[in-house]
Amino acid sequence: MTAVFESLSAWRDERRAQIRAGLTLGFVPTMGALHEGHLSLVRRSRAENDRTLVSIFVNPTQFDDPTDLTQYPRTLENDLAMLRDEGTEFVLVPDETQLYRDGFRYRVTEVELSKVMEGARRPGHFDGVLTVVLKLLQIASAERAYFGEKDWQQLSLVGGMAEAFFLPTAIVGCATVREPDGLALSSRNRRLPPSDRQKAPQFYRALSISPTSEVASRELREAGFAVDYVEDRDGRRLGAVRLGDVRLIDNVPIGERP
């Protein structure tokens, strides 16, 4: 049985009862349009906790581009069916008026890592991410929260925020799930036309096998990608590219062979 909560206060009552009963909770925040990448987080949470909560909320404050927000896929009925099949106990589907009663007057800002790579190309993006994640972590009251390595910069920033503010929830990073051809699963992949879908796995390959980030960047440009950045940082190679109006991000440990 999967219980769906739209009301934050109803969920918080439920969670209080669980805590009284000594039940541990794993939390998986998502923006919906679920795929196997999200489900891998749900499975890990189910293996490590008594109960699992998944949230589905397309967070407007993290979209710097209004078109990206309107085009973001919304597949709620399908998402709920997938979560039921996984045996997810709880799903939280809050709305903006409940989550942002303050009108986004209060926000979390990190001043270094959030300003480079994704942050440099998407001004304000990580303020929106960190703010909504802090709200959701407070509401969930989970022992553990699961985030994908696919969004490596986000995972680092969320982990850093949890430490900086002494949050009681452990932040757990989970390996990137890929298509057999190497393309990282993403809700945005479904917007790729067939010819771009065919080209897309070259992104992962270039990140993995190029000797330097500059070479990866050049090869991707030659292959017809618009390259936002490819950067090596802390033993990983991270990149963002565009095919048409679809933006893809990915990262690999430096030296990983596809």
How far, rounded to the nearest angstrom, does the alpha carbon of residue 33 sit from its chain's CA centroid? 12
If the CB atoms of residues 15 and 44 are measured against ligand AMP, the closer one turns out to be 44
Question: Rule CB under 6 A: is residue 135 a binding residue for ligand AMP?
Answer: no
Question: Rule CB under 6 A: is residue 184 a binding residue for ligand AMP?
Answer: yes
Question: Rule CB under 6 A: is residue 132 a binding residue for ligand AMP?
Answer: no
**Sole window of 99-107, 147-155, 194-202, 210-218 interacting with ligand AMP (rule: CB under 6 A):** 147-155
If the CB atoms of residues 197 and 218 are measured against ligand AMP, the closer one turns out to be 197
**Sole window of 70-78, 113-121, 181-189, 198-206 interacting with ligand AMP (rule: CB under 6 A):** 181-189
Q: Which of 41, 130, 230, 246 binds ligand AMP (CB under 6 A)?
A: 41
How far, rounded to the nearest angstrom, does the alpha carbon of residue 168 sit from its chain's CA centroid? 20
* Residue 159 vs residues 74, 137, 193: alpha-carbon distances, Å: 27, 12, 35
Question: Rule CB under 6 A: is residue 200 a binding residue for ligand AMP?
Answer: no
**Sole window of 9-17, 29-37, 196-204, 207-215 interacting with ligand AMP (rule: CB under 6 A):** 29-37
Question: Rule CB under 6 A: is residue 185 a binding residue for ligand AMP?
Answer: yes
Question: Rule CB under 6 A: is residue 147 a binding residue for ligand AMP?
Answer: yes
* Residue 147 vs residues 74, 85, 218: alpha-carbon distances, Å: 20, 21, 30
Q: In the complex, what is the shortest distance from the CB of residue 168 to ligand AMP, in angstroms, rounded to a whole number?
A: 19
Which tokens go with 118? 């994704």
If the CB atoms of residues 23 and 160 are measured against ligand AMP, the closer one turns out to be 160
Question: Rule CB under 6 A: is residue 37 a binding residue for ligand AMP?
Answer: yes
Residue 130 contacts residue 111 (beta carbons within 8 Å)? no
Question: Rule CB under 6 A: is residue 177 a binding residue for ligand AMP?
Answer: yes
User: Strands across the sheet with 236-243, in order?
Assistant: 226-233, 236-243, 246-253
Q: In the complex, what is the shortest distance from the CB of residue 107 to ligand AMP, in angstroms, rounded to a whole number?
A: 18
Active site residues: 38
Q: Which of 187, 189, 202, 208 binds ligand AMP (CB under 6 A)?
A: 187
Question: Rule CB under 6 A: is residue 250 a binding residue for ligand AMP?
Answer: no
For 186, list phi and psi in degrees, rounded to 5. Answer: -155, 145
For residue 112, count CB atoms less than 10 angstroms from its CB and return exposed for 0-12, middle for 13-18, buried for 19 or more: exposed
Sequence-distant (6+) residues with CB within 8 A of 106 are: 131
Other Cβ atoms closer than 10 A to 253: 11
Question: Rule CB under 6 A: is residue 248 a binding residue for ligand AMP?
Answer: no
Sequence-distant (6+) residues with CB within 8 A of 47 are: none
Question: Rule CB under 6 A: is residue 171 a binding residue for ligand AMP?
Answer: no
- Our CA dihedral for 152, 154, 159, 162, rounded to 10 degrees, sits at -170
Please give the residue ranges that form the binding site for ligand AMP (CB under 6 A). 30-31, 37-38, 40-41, 147-148, 150-151, 174, 176-177, 184-187
